[in-house]
Amino acid sequence: MPEIKASSVEPGKKAKISNTGILFIVLVVLFALFSYVGRPFFFSTLNLVPMLNNLSFIGIIAAVLTMVMVSGDIDFSIGGNIGLTACLVALLLSKGLPGWLVVIIALCGGAIMGAFNGFLATVIGVNSIIATIGTMFIWRGIGYTLSNGESMLAMNPVIDYIGRGFLFKVIPFPIVIFIVVFVITYVIMNLSKWGRRIYAIGTNPMASYLSGINVKKVKFVGFLLCGITASLGGLILTSLSAVGMPQHGQGLELVIISGIVLGGTALGGGKGQILGTLAGILILSVLYNFLTIMNVYYFYIQIVQGSVLVLVVATYEIRQSRALKRV
Amino acid sequence: MTDNNGIVLKMENITKIFPGVIALEDVSIELYKGEVLGILGENGAGKSTLIKILAGNYIKDSGSIYVDGQKFEIKSPSEAMASGIRVIYQELNTLNNLSVAENIFIGEQLVKGPFKIVDWKAMTKKAGEILGSLNVALDPNSVIGDLSISEKQIVEIAKAISKDAKILVMDEPTAALSEEETQSLFKIIATLKSRGVSIIYISHRLKEIFQITDRVVVLRDGKKVESIKTKDTNANELVTLMVGRDIKEMYPKREVPIGNTVMEVKNLTADGFKDISFKLKKGEILGIFGLLGSGRTSLVKALFGANKVKSGEILINGKKVDIKSPKMARDEKIGLVPLDRKVEGLALHLGVKENITLANIEDLGKGFLIKKQLENKKAQMWIEEMGIKTPTMDQEVNSLSGGNQQKVVLAKWLESGSKIIILNEPTRGIDVGAKIEIYKLMQNLCEKGSAVIMISSELPEILSIADRILVMSKGKMTAEYSRKEASEENLLQSACI
Phi-psi region of B493 (alpha: psi -120 to 50; beta: other; left: phi over 0): alpha
Phi-psi region of B417 (alpha: psi -120 to 50; beta: other; left: phi over 0): left
Supply the pLDDT for residue A297: 80
Nearest chain A Cα distance for residue B359, angstroms:
5
**Contact indicator for B416, B330 with CB cutoff of 8 Å:** yes
**CA distance between the termini of chain B:** 37
Supply the pLDDT for residue B174: 78
- Specify whether B257 is located in the same domain as B229: no
Residues of B whose CB is below 8 A from A212: 325-327, 329-331, 359, 416
Q: Which of B19, B347, B361 sits opposite A207 (nearest CB)?
A: B347
- Specify whether B157 is located in the same domain as B304: no
Q: Would you call A11 and B399 a contact, using CB atoms and an 8 Å cutoff?
A: yes
**Contact indicator for B311, B267 with CB cutoff of 8 Å:** yes
Query: Any CB–CB contact under 8 A between A325 and chain B?
Result: no
Q: Which of A9, A200, A214 sits opposite B347 (nearest CB)?
A: A200
**Contact indicator for A143, A136 with CB cutoff of 8 Å:** no
**Contact indicator for A11, B399 with CB cutoff of 8 Å:** yes
Residues 6+ apart with CB under 8 A from B194: B34
**Contact indicator for B480, B284 with CB cutoff of 8 Å:** no
- The CATH number that applies at residue B210 is 3.40.50.300
- Specify whether B73 is located in the same domain as B197: yes
Q: Smallest Cα–Cα separation from B266: which of B304, B338, B316?
A: B316
Q: Would you call B347 and A327 a contact, using CB atoms and an 8 Å cutoff?
A: no
**Contact indicator for B230, B215 with CB cutoff of 8 Å:** yes
CA–CA separation, B333 and B414 (whole Å): 9
Give pairs for B102-107: CB < 8 Å, separation 24+: B103/B144, B103/B155, B103/B159, B104/B130, B104/B140, B104/B155, B104/B158, B104/B159, B104/B162, B105/B159, B105/B162, B106/B159
Residues of A whose CB is below 8 A from B394: 13
DSSP state letters, B422-478: EEESTTTT--HHHHHHHHHHHHHHHHTT-EEEEE---HHHHHHH-SEEEEEETTEEE
Residue B109 identity (one-letter amino acid): Q
Residues of B whose CB is below 8 A from A208: 347, 358
Q: How many distinct structural domains can be found in chain A?
A: 1
Residues of A whose CB is below 8 A from B395: 9-10
Q: Which of A206, A212, A327 sits opposite B399 (nearest CB)?
A: A327
Query: Any CB–CB contact under 8 A between A196 and chain B?
Result: yes
CA–CA separation, B280 and B259 (whole Å): 10
- Specify whether B138 is located in the same domain as B283: no
Residues 6+ apart with CB under 8 A from B136: B154, B184, B188
Q: Which of B18, B21, B324, B327 should we substitute to test contact with A (largest number of A Cβ atoms within 10 Å)?
A: B327
- Specify whether B434 is located in the same domain as B389: yes
The β-bridge partners of B86 are: B168
Query: Any CB–CB contact under 8 A between B422 and chain A?
Result: no
Point out the residues of chain A with pLDDT beneath 50. Answer: 1-16, 326-327
Tell me: cis bond preceding A174? Omega within 30 of 0 counts.
Answer: no
CA–CA separation, A283 and A148 (whole Å): 37
CA–CA separation, A139 and A231 (whole Å): 11
Query: Any CB–CB contact under 8 A between A184 and chain B?
Result: no
Supply the pLDDT for residue A315: 80
**SS3 assignment, position B141:** coil
Asked, for residue A307, whether it belongs to a domain, the answer is yes
Domain containing A124 equals 25-325
Class of residue B318 by CB neighbours under 10 A (exposed 0-12, middle 13-18, buried 19+)? exposed
Query: Any CB–CB contact under 8 A between B118 and chain A?
Result: no
Class of residue B347 by CB neighbours under 10 A (exposed 0-12, middle 13-18, buried 19+)? buried
Supply the pLDDT for residue B20: 63
Q: Smallest Cα–Cα separation from B210: which of B231, B191, B188, B181?
A: B231
Residues of A whose CB is below 8 A from B417: none
Nearest chain B Cα distance for residue A191, angstroms:
6
CA–CA separation, B183 and B155 (whole Å): 16
Residues 6+ apart with CB under 8 A from A182: A59, A60, A63, A274, A278
Examine the fold and report which residue of B245, B279, B294 is the final residue of a domain before the chain moves on: B245
Q: Which of B362, B395, B416 sits opposite A193 (nearest CB)?
A: B362
At B315-372, the pLDDT tens digits run 998 899 988 899 999 999 999 998 888 888 898 888 899 999 998 888 888 888 988 8
DSSP character at residue B46: S
Please provide residue B64's backbone torsions phi and psi, each rounded to the nearest 5 degrees. Answer: -135, 155
Q: Which of B304, B327, B368 sits opposite A192 (nearest CB)?
A: B368
Q: Which of A191, A207, A213 sits opposite B344 (nearest CB)?
A: A207
Residues of A whose CB is below 8 A from B307: none
Asked, for residue A204, whether it belongs to a domain, the answer is yes
Note which residues in 203-232 of chain A have CB less than 8 A from chain B: 203-204, 206-214
- Specify whether B257 is located in the same domain as B238: no
Residues of B whose CB is below 8 A from A192: 368-370
Point out the residues of chain B with pLDDT beneath 70. Answer: 1-5, 19-20, 43-44, 91, 176, 204, 245-250, 429, 431-432
Nearest chain A Cα distance for residue B96, angstroms:
24
Q: Is the dihedral of CA B483, B486, B492, B495 positive or negative?
A: negative
Asked, for residue A315, whether it belongs to a domain, the answer is yes
Q: Would you call B368 and A9 a contact, using CB atoms and an 8 Å cutoff?
A: no
- The CATH number that applies at residue A84 is 1.10.3470
Please provide residue B434's backbone torsions phi and psi, each rounded to the nearest 5 degrees. Answer: -70, -35
The side-by-side arrangement of strands in the sheet containing B7-18 is B21-32, B7-18, B62-67, B70-71
- Specify whether B258 is located in the same domain as B190: no
Domain containing B133 equals 3-245
CA–CA separation, A105 and A111 (whole Å): 10
Query: Any CB–CB contact under 8 A between A199 and chain B?
Result: yes
CA–CA separation, B452 and B285 (whole Å): 5
Examine the fold and report which residue of B205, B222, B245 is the final residue of a domain before the chain moves on: B245
Q: Would you call A196 and B343 a contact, using CB atoms and an 8 Å cutoff?
A: no
Where does B221-360 show beta strands of DSSP type E? Answer: 223-229, 261-270, 273-281, 285-290, 309-316, 319-321, 334-337
- Specify whether B232 is located in the same domain as B357: no
Q: Smallest Cα–Cα separation from B279: which of B318, B251, B245, B333?
A: B318
Q: How many distinct structural domains can be found in chain B?
A: 2
Supply the pLDDT for residue A6: 33
Q: Smallest Cα–Cα separation from B251: which of B473, B66, B435?
A: B435
Q: Which of A190, A203, A211 should we substitute to test contact with B (largest number of B Cβ atoms within 10 Å)?
A: A211
- Specify whether B228 is located in the same domain as B277: no
Q: Would you call B347 and A203 a contact, using CB atoms and an 8 Å cutoff?
A: yes
Please report, for chain A, how many H helices and E strands are present, in that order: 14, 4
**SS3 assignment, position A159:** helix
Nearest chain A Cα distance for residue B241, angstroms:
32
CA distances from B453 to B153, B262, B466, B483 (A): 31, 12, 9, 14
Q: Smallest Cα–Cα separation from B359: which of B421, B308, B316, B297?
A: B421
Supply the pLDDT for residue A9: 37
- Specify whether B219 is located in the same domain as B126: yes
At B219-263, the pLDDT tens digits run 888 888 888 888 888 877 887 787 776 666 667 777 778 888 889
Examine the fold and report which residue of B245, B268, B298 is the final residue of a domain before the chain moves on: B245
Torsion of CA A28, A264, A115, A158, to 10 degrees: 0
At B367-401, the pLDDT tens digits run 889 888 899 999 899 988 888 888 888 888 887 87
The CB density around residue A320, as the number of other CB atoms within 10 Å, is 16
- Specify whether B115 is located in the same domain as B195: yes
Residue B170 identity (one-letter amino acid): M
- Specify whether B13 is located in the same domain as B149: yes
CA–CA separation, B360 and B349 (whole Å): 18
Note which residues in 304-323 of chain B have CB less than 8 A from chain A: 304, 306
Supply the pLDDT for residue B230: 85
Please report, for chain B, how many H helices and E strands are present, in that order: 17, 22
